[in-house]
């Protein structure tokens, strides 16, 4: 096992295109690190740089106390699991798993022992004589992971390994991957664009955007205290509501809430932190909404609403200090059923609010 340390890692392509813009973080020995972000943010490029499949423009990558910038992929003591499985179609499961060990000159009895042990761990022992075409997608992914396990590497690298599977199988496989990593205690770096997958797998979460790291931390810490509005909207489903405010407060239509800010700012509220209330219910933030759409997903109901004017108040454009018209998402219990077109009042406690700078690049409430 080993830790992985990245220091000011950069990648610039021909023409001066910066894909990775100076990234620093460390994955501790035995930790499961997940790189998450939208398509094109640089997460797969960064993983391939750790693997040695992409050259580094500048900075250093250290695996187990050894800088590997100039070391070939085969000599980095890593094993990689790809999105497309990358199995040899003409070989049996057994031979697919044993192939890399044979190339390294590992004795035949040790190869057999490693392959059969990995097959038992992954519950594919009865399939060792089958060809990949005789396997389901989930079984092929287990073989790909088995091929990595038999290597007994210092570091596992996963490049969106579940993206080709259906939704139900993805859930099952991510549980299996996490159980496997905890059992083997091997340092792992995992790339995904799925924030739910990232939250459930990670010991340490690295949120990327545009070739930079937006935030690093434990998944629940990032969810509870996002550092930027990008993180606030990307981590969490539905995304956080983001509402502009200024130094005059939030305006007369929002109850007694006033927030002292040095200038313009952005207020964030998670959909689940809103509650349906009556007109006299005290709260940090109170909004009147007209329901536009409803999504019922069993135990939860997602309500999409537009801010409504108070009864008898003429409809006017937003004034300084007021929230402008815009959509608000509220997550309610599944048996809650406001009607489309109905006016509702929702509130959020003061300690559930998030305040960001106007450019969205930093928090103002610590």
Q: What is the mean pLDDT of residues 100-115?
A: 93
Q: What is the mean pLDDT of residues 165-189?
A: 88
pLDDT given for residue 1 in this prediction:
64
Determine the topology of domain 4-229 in CATH: Rossmann fold (3.40.50)
Q: State the alpha helices, DSSP H only, in the chain.
A: 43-51, 93-103, 108-122, 137-149, 167-184, 195-201, 219-224, 229-234
Q: Give me the residue label for tokens 């939208």.
A: 38
pLDDT given for residue 310 in this prediction:
42
Ramachandran assignment for 77, one of left (phi > 0), alpha (psi -120 to 50 degrees), beta (any other):
left
- Whole-angstrom CA distances from 110 to 98, 151, 152, 186 are 10, 11, 12, 20
Say how far apart CA 353 and CA 350 lie, in whole Å. 6
Smallest CA-to-CA distance from 346 within 307, 299, 292, 301 is with 307
pLDDT given for residue 56 in this prediction:
95
Cα diameter, the chain: 85
SS3 state at 201: helix
Four-residue CA torsion sign, 235, 241, 247, 250: negative
User: Can you give the three-state secondary structure of 137-185, one letter per residue?
Assistant: HHHHHHHHHHHHHCCCCCEEEEECCCCCCCHHHHHHHHHHHHHHHHHHC
Q: What is the mean pLDDT of residues 233-244?
A: 89
Burial annotation 156-181 (CB, 10 A radius, 16+ → b, else e): bbbbbbbeebeeeebeebbebbbebb
Say how far apart CA 139 and CA 320 lie, in whole Å. 59
Report the mean per-residue pLDDT for the chain: 87
pLDDT given for residue 222 in this prediction:
97
pLDDT at 349 over 70: yes
Chain centroid offset of residue 114 CA: 32
pLDDT given for residue 327 in this prediction:
86
Sorting pLDDT into bands at 50, 70 and 90, what band is 133? very high
pLDDT given for residue 252 in this prediction:
34
pLDDT at 324 over 50: no
Say how far apart CA 149 and CA 119 lie, in whole Å. 10
pLDDT at 21 over 90: yes
pLDDT at 321 over 60: no
Four-residue CA torsion sign, 155, 161, 167, 172: negative
Q: What is the mean pLDDT of residues 70-85?
A: 90
pTM for this model (two decimals): 0.87
Q: What is the mean pLDDT of residues 242-261?
A: 59
Q: What is the mean pLDDT of residues 94-104?
A: 93
Say how far apart CA 294 and CA 237 lie, in whole Å. 15
Token pair of 347, please? 């509130």
Token pair of 171, please? 């859930």
pLDDT in tens, 86-98: 899 999 999 999 9
pLDDT at 250 over 60: no
Sorting pLDDT into bands at 50, 70 and 90, what band is 281? low
pLDDT given for residue 98 in this prediction:
95
Say how far apart CA 202 and CA 200 lie, in whole Å. 6
Percentage of the chain lying above the pLDDT 90 cut: 59
pLDDT at 366 over 80: no
pLDDT at 247 over 50: yes
pLDDT given for residue 258 in this prediction:
62
Say how far apart CA 268 and CA 241 lie, in whole Å. 5
pLDDT in tens, 23-54: 999 999 999 999 999 999 999 999 999 999 99
Say how far apart CA 49 and CA 158 lie, in whole Å. 13
DSSP letters for 66-105: EE-TTS-GGGS-EEEE-TT----TTS-HHHHHHHHHHHTT
Hey, what's the torsion of the CAs at 259, 262, 263, 265, to 10 degrees?
Answer: -50
Sorting pLDDT into bands at 50, 70 and 90, what band is 131? very high
Beta-bridge mates of residue 348: 285
Q: Which of 45-54, 138-147, 254-263 has the lowest mean pLDDT?
A: 254-263
260 or 292: which leads in pLDDT: 292
pLDDT given for residue 265 in this prediction:
84
Sorting pLDDT into bands at 50, 70 and 90, what band is 319? very low
Chain centroid offset of residue 356 CA: 21
Say how far apart CA 15 and CA 10 lie, in whole Å. 15
- Return the domain boundaries, the chain: 4-229, 239-357
């Amino acid at each position: 096992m080993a830790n992985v340390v990245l220091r000011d890692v950069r990648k610039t392509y021909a023409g001066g295109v910066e894909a990775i813009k100076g990234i620093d973080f460390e994955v501790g020995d035995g930790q499961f690190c997940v790189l998450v972000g939208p398509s094109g943010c640089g997460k797969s490029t960064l993983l391939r740089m750790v693997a040695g499949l992409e050259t580094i423009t500048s900075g250093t990558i250290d695996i187990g106390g050894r800088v590997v910038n100039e070391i070939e992929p085969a000599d980095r003591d890593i094993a990689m699991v790809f999105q497309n499985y990358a199995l040899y179609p003409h070989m049996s499961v057994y031979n697919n798993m044993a192939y890399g060990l044979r190339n390294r000159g590992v004795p035949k009895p040790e190869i057999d022992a490693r392959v059969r042990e990995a097959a038992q761990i992954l519950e594919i022992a009865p399939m060792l004589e089958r060809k990949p075409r005789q396997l389901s997608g989930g079984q092929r992914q287990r073989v790909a992971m088995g091929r990595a396990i038999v290597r007994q590497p210092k570091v596992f690298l996963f490049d969106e390994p579940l993206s080709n599977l259906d939704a139900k199988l993805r859930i099952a496989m991510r549980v299996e991957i996490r159980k496997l990593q905890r059992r083997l205690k091997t340092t792992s770096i995992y790339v995904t664009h799925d924030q739910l997958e990232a939250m459930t797998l990670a010991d340490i979460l690295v949120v990327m955007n545009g070739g930079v790291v937006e935030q690093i931390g434990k998944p629940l810490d990032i969810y509870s205290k996002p550092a930027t509005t990008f993180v606030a909207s990307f981590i969490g489903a539905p995304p956080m509501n983001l509402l502009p405010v200024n130094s005059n407060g939030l305006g007369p239509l929002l109850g007694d809430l006033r927030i002292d800010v040095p200038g313009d700012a952005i207020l964030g509220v998670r959909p689940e932190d809103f509650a349906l209330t009556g007109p006299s219910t005290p709260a940090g933030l109170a909004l009147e909404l007209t329901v536009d759409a409803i999504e019922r997903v069993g135990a939860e109901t997602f309500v999409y609403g537009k801010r409504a004017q108070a009864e008898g108040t003429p409809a006017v454009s937003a004034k300084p200090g007021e929230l402008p018209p815009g959509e608000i998402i509220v997550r309610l219990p599944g048996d809650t059923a406001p009607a489309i077109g109905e006016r509702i009042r929702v509130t959020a406690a003061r300690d559930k609010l998030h305040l960001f700078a106007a450019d969205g690049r930093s928090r103002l409430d610590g």
